[in-house]
Chain A
């Protein structure tokens, strides 16, 4: 039994290393001590109690470790490291560039590339178009995710505005098509048909 206790204790010490470092430094020794005491007491009650207690600990550990890592990352995001990278002064150039990024990536870049196509088609490799498209979309999605994580700052608004604009074009098209089918394709008065068909009286 003493051998089992020692093995379990060492295994638990290894598992504790999976916690975030700061948590492990702060609570590691305490967790280990409490675990050792719990194992010793379970062992006194018998083998079944020891197995049941070990299973309970093993079942709870992964969730607790994941939760602490998530908590740690959340605290880091709120305080340090990646904070200044996407925290711009309102009205600064970096903020303006971040705000314009979706238009540059989804609007200006494809248009420019299509204009240059006749001149580059002979020299550029075939996969370059796919790579540029995927890269642009990746950057756009990256900005979108960072914006959501950072609590929707001001520079992030175009990232929501642009997709909304694109979707609304299709949405309104469908909506107007529905209206047209409902109103115009009937035998409506001449004035209504003129407005719907030609936009004029």
Chain B
């Protein structure tokens, strides 16, 4: 499976944020939307349909799983009854993408630092 990870990279910005949002634990659709807005400081604001198209694709790729949400976790009425959770593969891909971006930023910092010096 490890050999397959590079084929998923690079992740699109919404995909990265969705996986990142699910990293701490399971969330339902609306919580993912709000968390993405918060993580991106309002820069990324997904529509409902865009979110669910992405979620369905990630489900089919096995990067996330769809589970019944615990009714006791409902903060209010009308919250979705299904929640999403990061799979083991999804977590490895998120880590691989983070490392890839770290390497890019590191190289850029190094070069820009050289130029300033």
Chain A interface (Cβ within 8 Å of chain B)?
23, 27, 29-31, 33-38, 56-57, 59-61, 63-65, 67-68, 71
Contact = CB atoms under 8 A, between A and B. Distances in A.
B78 A33 contact: yes
Contacts of B79: 33, 37
28 contacts: A27-B56, A29-B80, A29-B81, A30-B80, A30-B81, A31-B48, A31-B49, A33-B29, A33-B30, A34-B29, A34-B48, A34-B51, A34-B52, A38-B30, A38-B48, A56-B45, A56-B47, A57-B47, A57-B48, A57-B49, A59-B47, A60-B47, A60-B48, A60-B49, A60-B50, A61-B47, A61-B49, A64-B52
B29 A64 contact: no
B33 interface: yes
Interface of B: 28-30, 33, 45, 47-53, 56, 78-82
A151 B7 CA distance: 23
How would you classify the secondary structure of chain A's contact residues: helix, strand, loop or mixed? helix
B53 A67 contact: yes
A74 B112 CA distance: 47
B52 A27 contact: yes
A76 to B, nearest CB: 15
Nearest to B57: A71
Contacts of A71: 56
A37 B30 contact: yes
Given A38-B30, A56-B45, 18 more contacts: A27-B52, A29-B80, A30-B29, A30-B81, A30-B82, A33-B29, A33-B30, A34-B28, A34-B51, A34-B80, A36-B78, A37-B79, A38-B33, A56-B47, A61-B49, A64-B50, A64-B52, A71-B56
